[in-house]
């Protein structure tokens, strides 16, 4: 069986592509660098991260991108002996404008060095590239309407102004021909995430609607002609949990169709698993996969209805691999372990090194935690509702403006951190910084109390998240007992829905290491190892 989610933790907007016996899924990474995660499978059951292709300044520079901007909704395809990756770099979130720039990169193999990007357009986000049977290529994206409702547009959601289609000329690397708005969406509204495919003479268009929250849905339409008109699916939505609040997989939407070599049908989707009592998805938007069937040239979920299932039939008898609950990451260089990413900058050498202090990850303190430009924060995804993280830090601050430690992080206004810094009277201290989701309208708590004095030498730091609760811990050294420090904090705020989440939060929770030095002297902090354990 396939157990959902197949990609737990922050892995939204799954675009799936099959090449022979190999399946690949590309997911959004937003402000986290390098851009786009690509996972690989040969059985649809077991998946492994194999590539983050946007890894150079010439491909991606997100310094200054606000939270939840950056890489939105990549589309991965294969044609003409090449992998094609289409993606958006969003430069603005709040207000009427998005400033969403769409690009294409290519590579002969997934693990090769990908090309520099070719600019396509900026009329809206969620771009997709369709390779037709006659060799022509078609580019689709949603159209963003920045005007207020009084100026027209769809009556319910004027900003989401339909799906645009235009031909892509691979020789000149430019769009050509007329721009056609082929699909206004269903009455649910907020139409986005278009993907085209062709079967039995029909062009099928799958889109996401209802926003990425609890009204999310996969909507399907078909036409005999690529530019329409498109007729709606008999159920309107292929998949949604919006009318089933008891379903385990909520927020179901935004996915893509794929067939096995034997012709079996599957469809990816993003989903969330909320925790009671506040229905906050602390693992962010995850990737699910549903088995489908064809009837009368329409696609339906194999289990019937429209609600995605936790377990679905796999195409083979593959056995799910058991992953270790506890992983210890040793920093022996020269590259970060694959599970880790950092924020925004294409110049990682300015924020960390794995060679300057052998056996350690050295972070160079840069801008403050929550900076949109250059902050030294290296972290991995939270993949369990309950987990523990540990690290050992060597850091000798010379001023209270130099800080380093362990963090549970979502974005600039949703984080908790257990840090080492300097106090004028107490000397070197361990203390807690927290911003529980209300910045900039509320007040960040810097710190929670004055902190506890700590002797010279390595400092052992840990955190435990038990669903909605977070507790920090310290200990004096190897073999000594961990002691709780500070109050129990709200871990549920480190989520899409936490704090100001209703205003747009699209990423997920991370656990990791952070350092900042707002004197500008780039004080280094050395981390001996990092432990992540699902509880």
Q: What is the pLDDT of residue 333?
A: 80
The residue behind tokens 């190897």 is: 478
Instruction: Report if residue 435 sits inside a domain.
Output: yes
**Sign of the CA dihedral with 36 first, then 41, 46, and 48 last:** negative
Phi, psi of 23, rounded to the nearest 5 degrees: -115, 140
Q: Can you tell me the mean pLDDT for 100-111?
A: 98
What are the Cα distances from residue 140, in Å, to 166, 366, 452, 474?
Answer: 7, 40, 56, 52
Pairing of strands 118-121, 160-169: unpaired
Same domain, 50 and 6: yes
Same domain, 458 and 530: yes
With 90 as the cut, is the pLDDT of residue 503 above it? no
Q: What is the pLDDT of residue 317?
A: 94
Last residue of a domain, one of 290, 312, 334: 312
> How far is 122 from 125, CA to CA, in rounded Å?
7
Q: Can you tell me the mean pLDDT for 352-373?
A: 96
Same domain, 254 and 349: no
With 70 as the cut, is the pLDDT of residue 57 above it? yes
Same domain, 450 and 399: yes
Active site members: 374
Domain with residue 177: its CATH number is 2.115.10.20
Nearest CA among 221, 279, 225 for reference residue 250: 279
Per residue in 16-45, pLDDT tens?
999 999 999 999 999 999 999 999 999 999
The token pair that represents 266 in the structure block? 């599957």
3-state secondary structure at position 501: helix
On average, the pLDDT of the chain sits at 94
Instruction: Report if residue 441 sits inside a domain.
Output: yes
Please state, as a whole number, how many other Cβ atoms lie within 10 Å of the Cβ of residue 357.
Answer: 16
With 80 as the cut, is the pLDDT of residue 441 above it? no
Last residue of a domain, one of 281, 312, 343: 312
Last residue of a domain, one of 312, 347, 376: 312
The residue behind tokens 């992080």 is: 409
Same domain, 308 and 351: no
The verdict on whether omega for the bond into residue 525 sits within 30 degrees of 0, i.e. cis, is: no
Per residue in 263-313, pLDDT tens?
999 999 999 999 999 999 999 999 999 999 999 999 999 999 999 999 999
Q: What is the pLDDT of residue 273?
A: 98
> How far is 425 from 418, CA to CA, in rounded Å?
19
Instruction: Report if residue 108 sits inside a domain.
Output: yes
- Contact yes or no for 67/409 (Cβ under 8 A): no
- The structural domain count of the chain equals 2
Q: Return contacts of 202-208, CB within 8 angstroms, 24+ apart.
A: 202/297, 203/230, 204/257, 204/299, 205/140, 205/163, 205/230, 206/238, 206/255, 206/256, 206/257, 206/267, 207/142, 207/163, 207/183, 208/126, 208/253, 208/254, 208/255
Instruction: Report if residue 318 sits inside a domain.
Output: no
- Structural domain range at position 189: 2-312
Q: Can you tell me the mean pLDDT for 347-360?
A: 97
Q: What is the pLDDT of residue 504?
A: 62
Same domain, 254 and 362: no
Largest CA distance in the chain: 77
Same domain, 98 and 176: yes
Same domain, 338 and 294: no
Per residue in 520-534, pLDDT tens?
999 999 999 999 999
- What does pTM read for this prediction? 0.96
With 60 as the cut, is the pLDDT of residue 502 above it? no
Same domain, 90 and 149: yes
Instruction: Report if residue 515 sits inside a domain.
Output: yes
Same domain, 42 and 114: yes
Q: What is the pLDDT of residue 158?
A: 74
Instruction: Report if residue 319 sits inside a domain.
Output: no
Instruction: Report if residue 91 sits inside a domain.
Output: yes
> How far is 400 from 419, CA to CA, in rounded Å?
11
Same domain, 352 and 466: yes
Phi, psi of 519, rounded to the nearest 5 degrees: -80, -20
Domain with residue 471: its CATH number is 2.60.120.200
Q: Percentage of the chain surpassing pLDDT 90?
A: 90
With 80 as the cut, is the pLDDT of residue 447 above it? no
Instruction: Report if residue 320 sits inside a domain.
Output: no
- Contact yes or no for 149/92 (Cβ under 8 A): no
The residue behind tokens 């995850």 is: 286
Q: What is the pLDDT of residue 440?
A: 54
Q: How confident is the model at residue 376 (pLDDT cuts 50, 70, 90)?
A: very high
Same domain, 244 and 355: no
| ∠ CA 139-156-214, rounded to 5° | 80
Per residue in 138-183, pLDDT tens?
999 999 999 865 444 444 567 899 999 999 999 999 999 999 999 9
């Amino acid at each position: 069986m396939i157990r959902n989610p197949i990609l737990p933790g922050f892995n939204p907007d799954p675009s799936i592509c099959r090449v022979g016996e190999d399946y690949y899924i590309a997911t959004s990474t937003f402000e986290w660098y390098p851009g786009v995660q690509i996972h690989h499978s040969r059985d649809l059951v077991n998946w492994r991260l194999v590539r983050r292709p946007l890894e150079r300044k010439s491909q991606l520079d997100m310094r200054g991108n606000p939270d939840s901007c950056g890489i939105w909704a990549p589309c991965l395809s294969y044609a003409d002996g090449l992998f094609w990756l289409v993606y958006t770099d969003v430069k603005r979130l709040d207000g009427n404008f998005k400033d969403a720039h769409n690009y294409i990169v290519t590579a002969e193999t997934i693990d090769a060095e990908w090309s520099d990007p070719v600019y396509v357009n900026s009329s809206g986000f969620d771009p997709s590239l369709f390779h037709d049977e006659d060799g022509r290529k078609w580019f689709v994206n949603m159209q963003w309407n920045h005007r207020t409702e009084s100026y027209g547009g769809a009556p319910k959601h004027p900003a989401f102004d339909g799906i645009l289609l235009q031909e892509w000329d691979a020789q000149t690397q430019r769009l050509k021909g007329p721009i056609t708005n082929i699909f206004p969406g269903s009455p649910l509204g907020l139409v986005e995430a278009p993907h085209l495919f062709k079967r039995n003479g029909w062009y099928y268009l799958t889109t996401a609607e209802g926003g990425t929250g609890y009204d999310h849905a996969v909507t399907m339409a078909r036409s005999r002609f690529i530019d329409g008109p498109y007729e709606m699916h008999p159920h309107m939505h292929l998949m949604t949990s919006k009318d089933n609040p008891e379903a385990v997989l909520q927020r179901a939407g935004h996915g893509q169709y794929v067939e096995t070599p034997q012709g079996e049908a599957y469809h990816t989707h993003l989903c969330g698993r909320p925790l009671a009592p506040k229905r906050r998805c602390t693992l962010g938007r995850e990737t699910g996969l549903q088995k489908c069937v064809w009837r009368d040239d329409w696609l339906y979920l194999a289990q019937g209805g429209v609600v995605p299932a936790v377990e679905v039939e796999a195409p083979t008898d593959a056995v799910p691999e058991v992953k270790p609950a506890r992983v210890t990451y040793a920093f022996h260089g020269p590259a970060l372990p694959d599970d880790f990413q950092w924020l925004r900058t294409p110049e990682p050498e300015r924020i960390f090194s794995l060679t300057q202090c052998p056996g350690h990850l050295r972070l160079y303190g840069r801008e403050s935690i929550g900076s949109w430009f250059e902050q030294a924060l290296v972290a991995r995804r939270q993949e369990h509702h309950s987990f523990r993280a540990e690290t050992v830090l060597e850091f000798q601050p010379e001023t209270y403006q130099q800080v380093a430690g362990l963090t549970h992080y979502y974005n600039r206004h949703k984080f908790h951190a257990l840090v080492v810094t300097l106090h004028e009277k107490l000397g070197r201290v361990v203390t807690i910084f927290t911003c529980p989701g209300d910045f900039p309208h509320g007040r960040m708590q810097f710190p929670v109390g004055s902190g506890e004095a700590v002797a010279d030498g390595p400092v052992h730091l840990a955190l435990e998240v038990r669903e909605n609760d977070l507790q920090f811990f310290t200990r004096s050294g190897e073999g000594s007992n961990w002691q709780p420090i500070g109050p129990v904090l709200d871990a549920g705020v480190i989520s899409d829905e936490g704090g100001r989440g209703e205003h747009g939060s699209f990423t997920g929770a991370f656990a990791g290491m952070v350092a900042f030095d707002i004197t500008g002297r780039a004080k280094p902090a050395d981390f001996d190892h990092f432990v992540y354990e699902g509880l």
